[in-house]
Amino acid sequence: MGKGIDFVKAILKNTIEKKGFDQCLKNFNVVSAGNGNCKVEFTVAEEHLNAGGTLHGGFTTTLVDCISGCALMTRGDVAPGVSVDLHVSFMKAAFPGDVVIVDAKTIRAGRTLAFLEVELRKKDEGSVIAQGQHTKFIGQI
Amino acid sequence: MGKGIDFVKAILKNTIEKKGFDQCLKNFNVVSAGNGNCKVEFTVAEEHLNAGGTLHGGFTTTLVDCISGCALMTRGDVAPGVSVDLHVSFMKAAFPGDVVIVDAKTIRAGRTLAFLEVELRKKDEGSVIAQGQHTKFIGQI
Amino acid sequence: MGKGIDFVKAILKNTIEKKGFDQCLKNFNVVSAGNGNCKVEFTVAEEHLNAGGTLHGGFTTTLVDCISGCALMTRGDVAPGVSVDLHVSFMKAAFPGDVVIVDAKTIRAGRTLAFLEVELRKKDEGSVIAQGQHTKFIGQI
Amino acid sequence: MGKGIDFVKAILKNTIEKKGFDQCLKNFNVVSAGNGNCKVEFTVAEEHLNAGGTLHGGFTTTLVDCISGCALMTRGDVAPGVSVDLHVSFMKAAFPGDVVIVDAKTIRAGRTLAFLEVELRKKDEGSVIAQGQHTKFIGQI
């Protein structure tokens, strides 16, 4: 059975409380979730910036990793799995105050591997900031 | 003119103080730096973990991004640039207490693009945790 | 000025005649082209197979490379450029006789870099075989 | 039991004879092979070129795919497997007559996944043309 928006909110709340690296995901708004997809948005703030004052590439890749993981889990029939490969192309800078939409989709989930794609866009103008592909191992190790 | 270990320590200190995303790089030890290469080490701690209690993939990719950037800057003749593509393969889990070596190398730096590779290894057994490739644009935008 | 389907057909015809590696692109049907996008289809045949008798991963990556290049050139305002990074996730096997659609899109083309995505799908069932991201340098070297 | 140079020569000979896509691997010289590694060399010729007259990116990725597969098989204890992810960074052009060394290594091979890296260098000057990472699924599907 698939799971929706409250399920993803609970996952994010739970992981943020753990004092691990996912603490960087606080202040996110879950826009939609279900059927292998998940869309969240956030406003670029000081804690997301690199030394040049723009959205940090490491934070962008962390979002590709985490929000695609949320998307996968909404299917309800798969383990969260572990990352195998992650690739991101960085297309445009984002600045403090920009509202960014992170749109993650499950392209395919088989018995052992899941393939996910993520697009980050600016909410106002719709321009693509980054695109990522994330492969997870979801079988038994 | 190339730059060495004190140069990278100063970069990391400066960026961590900025309250941006690079704050996650605190508690790092710079082992060596110079001629386009940079090696740092850290001990996996609570703040680096995912919900499963192992080294977070988003943190791993952040290290691939940042430490390769430090490696590039030791050349002394290039701008820090902006990320174009970043790819990471995740090979093995790391656990709290593991000492991890992050070994970044400049493979090629031309007039407009730089190509960097990064390997994360466990210090005790030498096993590879992750390998990454990072492409930066270093020309004038 | 953008260019369309006849433009791409001419590009493919010209490059196939050159006796280079693009000879492997013969027997392709250009379905649509224009505005940075290009869609072609072909039937999996003996010359596209690996030793296991399925669509060869090297051929899949060649398609990601070439058809995204065609997509980029339909914009009419950019040089063909050179490849910087190429990433492919392989999701499903394709077999002799399968009709495969290769769907390439320009996500962003700036002054120096272009970012392209490509999806390979089976025409009959619509399932995704592979997804790729291709970054090209289109400025002056 | 590991396998060596004659084993890889036999693999290449066998696959080239099959009339599939691997025909493009003819005229290769196997320099060394064993223990998860494989090194081959070839001279850039007309059949390897793109429309611009340099080594074709699609051929480069095909080499990353195939020669890393040969490297993996020299271990003797693993199935050839299927590709999951492949990433290549293109660093420098190669021209007709250049002798290119393709150097593939197994970084890690577990029960279900193998991680391989490949470097293409010019034999005379040693400069890196391209670097790739290849992830294969080697468990039971």
CA C3 to chain centre: 16
**Residue tagged 């590039």 (tokens):** B72
pLDDT at D76: 85
Report the percentage of chain C scoring pLDDT > 70: 97
- State both tokens at C132: 């790729």
At residue C28, φ and ψ (nearest 5 deg) are -105, 145
Name the band, by pLDDT with cuts 50, 70 and 90, for residue D78. confident
- Mean pLDDT, rounded, for B86-109: 98
Domain housing C97: 5-137
Give the minimum alpha-carbon distance from D83 to chain A in angstroms, rounded to a whole number.
Answer: 12
Give me the interface pTM, i.e. the ipTM: 0.95
Handedness of CA A79, A80, A83, A88 (dihedral sign): positive
Give the length of chain C: 141
Give residue C12's pLDDT: 93
- What is the pLDDT at residue D23? 94
Answer yes or no: are the C-beta atoms of D80 and D21 closer than 8 Å: no
Q: What is the pLDDT of residue B89?
A: 98
* Angstrom distance (rounded) from CA B86 to CA D44: 29
Residue D14: enclosing H or E segment and its boundaries? helix D5-16
Residue C2 has a pLDDT of: 66
For C76-126, write each residue's pLDDT tens digit.
Answer: 877 789 999 999 999 999 999 999 999 999 999 999 999 999 999 999 999
A24, A48, A57: residue with CB nearest B65: A57
With H, G, I as helix, E, B as strand and everything else as coil, classify residue B36.
coil
Chain D residues with CB within 8 Å of chain C CB: 14-15, 18-24, 46-52, 56-59, 61-63, 65-66, 80, 82-90, 93
Chains with 3+ CB–CB pairs under 8 A to B are A, C, D
Q: Which two tokens stand for residue A91?
A: 């297309």
Sign for the pseudo-dihedral over CA of D56, D60, D61, D65: positive
d(CA B3, CA B1): 7
Q: What is the CATH number of the domain that holds C50?
A: 3.10.129.10
Alpha-carbon distance D131 to D137, whole Å?
Answer: 20
Please, where are the H alpha helices in chain B? Answer: 5-16, 57-73
* Per-residue confidence band for B79, with pLDDT thresholds at 50, 70 and 90: confident
pLDDT given for residue B122 in this prediction = 98
Predicted local confidence at residue B48, as pLDDT = 98
Number of CB atoms found within 10 A of residue A16's CB: 17
User: Could you give the CA distance from residue A66 to residue A62 in angstroms, rounded to a whole number?
Assistant: 6
D72-98: burial string, b at 16+ Cβ within 10 Å, e else: bbbbeebeebbbbbbbbbbbbebeeeb
The domain tally of chain D equals: 1
Chain A: give the shortest CA distance to residue D111, in Å.
8
pTM recorded for the entire structure: 0.96
